[in-house]
Amino acid sequence: MPSAREMWRMAESSNSVVIQGLTKRFGRFVAVNHINLEVRAGEVFGFLGPNGAGKSTTIRMLCGLLRPTEGSANVAGFDVAQKPEMVRQNIGYMSQKFSLYNDLRVIENIRLFAGLYSVPAGQLQSRIDWVLEMANLKGQERLITATLPGGWKQRLALGCAVLHKPPILFLDEPTSGVDPIARRQFWELIHQMADEGVTVFVTTHYMEEAEYCNRLALIFRGAIVALGSPSELKQNSIRGDLLLVECTPLGEALEILQSVPGVIDAAVFGNALHLVVENAQTAPAQVRSSLAQRKVAVQRIERIRPSLEDVFVALTTIKGAERAA
């Protein structure tokens, strides 16, 4: 008969991370405000938000680096506040800043972390080989880490974080400061791991990276404002339809359109405007006439499918307006 504790853990096992009412306050500043979240095993879960939204604070609480002020978080079946050591044995963590020892050789860094994670002696050599293989560092073991290019360092950091085969991997803006090709290779690696059953919890503020995730949580000012798969978010988060308007001059057009009835929101995207409108059938004519009155030249109006960036802008402006009101 399994004990009640084991039963509970088994029930939890389909969820790798369970967060309930998690809150972190620094003095009077609320960095993370009562968030609830469940991350399923084997999922690549994205935590998306602007800088300072509370992404890193959340991830650091989940890794047991920060104590929650309120609420609870359960990672790999262990409470982060009560059993931080057990949590740590079951997770890999990679911070946004490269944080291996630059003055050690590649192999010395690997051996150090293998030792810290108590990788059994019998598995040590095969794990080391695996990391070198994955990071493409075979034959470079003796190099001083500081001399490696950015993309290699990052793969080495990932390797050191998963030496002990953790079921959950936390990545805090893992691709900041890495070139696009290395970034792509990195995401391929992440998906490989997810295919092997590893749960990946990743924070980012790159929209194109968010598309790589199975599910996303959008965090803004410490609170989760949207949750779902990228396509769900795109479908459900925007009330109304999206129009692309190419016109000149843009600035003037933006000003005019914000007061046109039927237009919910307007924002500049590249060299065009994105309008959220109540009705995509009737709005183009209205927009054309309003702009023509003020002598703004319109090149093109087209209904488009929203990107994650549209979702992001829409949700954060609504929340921003709510707060201001």
Partner 1 sequence: MLARMKQMMKKEFIQVLRDKRTRFILIIPPIVQMLVFGYAANFEVHHVPTVVLDYDHSQESRDLLSHFTASSYFSVQPPAVDATQLHAVIERGGAAVGIEIDAGFARALRKGQPAPLQVIVDATNSNSALIAAGYVSQIANGFAQQYQRERMARIAPQWVAILPSVDLASRPWYNPDLLSRWFFVPGIVGSLTLVLVITLTAFAVVREREIGTLEQIMVTPIRPAEFILSKTLPFFLIGLFDVSLIAVVGSLWFQVHFRGHISVLVLGAVLFLLCMLGVGLLISTVSATQQQAMVTSFFFIMPAITFSGFGFPISTMPYWLQLMTYASPLRYFLVVLRGSYLKGVGMEVLWPEMAAMAALGLGLLTVAILRFHKSLD
Residues engaged in binding partner 1 (CB under 8 A)? 63-67, 85, 88-89, 91, 93, 95, 97-104, 108, 111-118
Smallest distance, Å, CB 28 to partner 1?
Answer: 17
Give the residue with the Cβ less far from partner 1, 91 or 311. 91
Is-contact 209 178, C-beta < 8 A?
A: no
Smallest distance, Å, CB 159 to partner 1?
Answer: 13
Give the residue with the Cβ less far from partner 1, 89 or 214. 89
Give the residue with the Cβ less far from partner 1, 19 or 291. 19
Q: How far is CA 264 from CA 261, 275, 294, in A?
A: 8, 7, 20
Give the residue with the Cβ less far from partner 1, 115 or 249. 115
* Residue 166: Cβ within 10 Å count: 20
Smallest distance, Å, CB 96 to partner 1?
Answer: 9
CA atoms within 13 Å, Cβ hemisphere of 251: 0
Give the residue with the Cβ less far from partner 1, 163 or 266. 163
* 265 residue type, one letter: D
Smallest distance, Å, CB 148 to partner 1?
Answer: 16
Consecutive H or E run containing 303: strand 297-303
* Residue 14: Cβ within 10 Å count: 10
Judged by DSSP in three states, 263 sits in strand
**Tokens standing for residue 58:** 């959340």
Smallest distance, Å, CB 171 to partner 1?
Answer: 12
Residues whose CB is less than 8 angstroms from the CB of residue 126 and which lie 6 or more positions away in sequence, other chains included? none
